[in-house]
Structure 1
Amino acid sequence: MTDLRLRPQGVLLDVDGTLVDTAPDLVQALNLALSDFGLPEVSLAQMRHVASHGSLALVEAGAPTQPQAMKYELQQALLRHYARINGQHCVLFAGMAELLKELEQSGIPVGVVTNKAARFCRPLMGSLGIESALVSIVCGDSTLMAKPNAAPMLLAAQQLGVAPEDIWYLGDAERDMQAAVNAGMVPVLALWGYLGEQDDIDSWPVEYRLNSPLELVQLIRNRG
């Protein structure tokens, strides 16, 4: 009997840093917020590794010496700007369009599980033209608890109609790998994502590491 874990029966993807290169939009929104308050802007290269970790993490990295009250104001400004520019400069990561096509042709359902709020995630999926390819779109406010809690992962599994143990979850952050483990899924690290020098990936609960989405395309073809 074939070991189903050798070939996913369903695939779930993180959004920021795994499916989509959203850092350009997120950092632009941060810089617009910093400019609103007369604070110095930051570079994309400086902030790229933070882009997977949400708006507050971006503010903490971009204005670390500001008092908490100011950081809150900056976060709210960042979110306002991001709502306006969301999707303007971001693209699917190289090889991701091919992966989505391969999954569709192979009859493997695919979805996303992200901590990004639905008001940002769903319009982004639409602007990228991939919403119809996704069987499940579970956002940060789709369940009471976000990743690394298992709740959003299990909701997505239910929507895919696939047992959690037969689903591969691709992400680029430690909480993604932990969320996969918590839900009983196969944790797959996307090495093309927003990993920084501070990330000790060898200590994360990772079953597979991929350098490119095309590696998963090839694996599916080889094990089909």
Structure 2
Amino acid sequence: MSAARFPKVVLFDLDGTLLDSAPDMLAAVNAMRASRGEPAMDLAALRPHVSKGARAMVGAAFPGADAGTRDGWIPEFLDHYRRQLGHHGLPFGGIEDALAAIEAGGSRWGIVTNKPESLAVALMPLLGWETRCAVLIGGDTLASRKPDPLPLLVAAERLGVDVVDCAYVGDDERDIVAARAAGMHSVVALWGYRLDHDDPTTWGGDVMIDAPRDMLDPACWPG
């Protein structure tokens, strides 16, 4: 595949796009539920909420608690998640092949996630990505996070490339909103985490792809 087939830089969301982190998240919420005498939650019940963030996952795990109480439990959830980090989750099938192809094509890739930066950074050596990921922007790295375009703009700036030479791949609507606002090409990852009412055809992404290995096909990349 010609290097010209890939954007100069491919930026990815992390949870639900590169990484199937739902099993780690499940272990965290189930530790919380066990401490409160609640039965374990099923993975299928939590999975759709993972890309929505900690608040959404705690809400799904404890729907009977009021919002203020659940918000107060978020630090506890993050503490449990730190202990489970990388123990159960793995890259989605085909991700490693896609990253290797991007690298072999002479392009770079990075991560822009709403996960706290410290957690995202801690995952990199567990996945073998610490020297491969060219830039990493977390949800608390900057003053704003997705759907604000700032993290994507800063990622491009740090890599010294124009936004039009980047593509952003994500599984949540706010990923696509952020990419469009930044002036980047956007790719909807349909293998990620979505609620039943989420309709990715309405997000305005440039392309939608069904599986990570589709990224090996030059035709999947907008430009």
TM-score tier, shorter chain, comes to: over 0.9
Count of paired positions: 220
Q: Distance in 2 between matches of 1:129 and 1:7?
A: 22
Q: Which stretches in structure 2 are left out of the alignment for 5+ residues?
A: none
Match of 2:103 in 1: 104
Match of 1:155 in 2: 154
Match of 2:10 in 1: 11
Amino acid at match of 1:88: H
Deviation at 1:142, TM superposition (A): 1.1
Amino acid at match of 1:103: I
Match of 1:117 in 2: 116
**Backbone CA RMSD of aligned residues:** 2.1
Conserved 8 A contact 2:214-2:220: no
Match of 1:191 in 2: 190
Conserved 8 A contact 2:190-2:211: yes
Amino acid at match of 2:76: A
Q: Scaled by the length of structure 1, what TM-score is found?
A: 0.92
Q: Distance in 1 between matches of 2:105 and 2:12?
A: 17
Amino acid at match of 1:119: S
Deviation at 1:202, TM superposition (A): 1.7
Q: Which stretches in structure 1 are left out of the alignment for 5+ residues?
A: none
1:19-168 mapped onto 2 (5 Å cutoff): 19-168=18-167
Alpha-carbon displacement from aligned partner over 1:119-167 (angstroms, at most 9, x marks no partner): 2100111111112111101111111000011111011111222211121
Deviation at 1:40, TM superposition (A): 3.3
Q: Distance in 1 between matches of 2:201 and 2:143?
A: 30
Q: Scaled by the length of structure 2, what TM-score is found?
A: 0.92
Conserved 8 A contact 1:110-1:160: no
Q: Which moved more, 1:4-13 or 1:67-76?
A: 4-13
Q: Residue 206 and residue 159 in structure 1: after superposition, are their counterparts in 2 closer, same or farther (change >3 A)? A: same
Conserved 8 A contact 1:34-1:74: no
Conserved 8 A contact 1:33-1:74: no
Q: Residue 30 and residue 222 in structure 1: after superposition, are their counterparts in 2 closer, same or farther (change >3 A)? A: closer
Deviation at 1:5, TM superposition (A): 9.8
Q: Distance in 2 between matches of 1:82 and 1:220?
A: 38
Deviation at 1:34, TM superposition (A): 1.6
Match of 1:207 in 2: 206
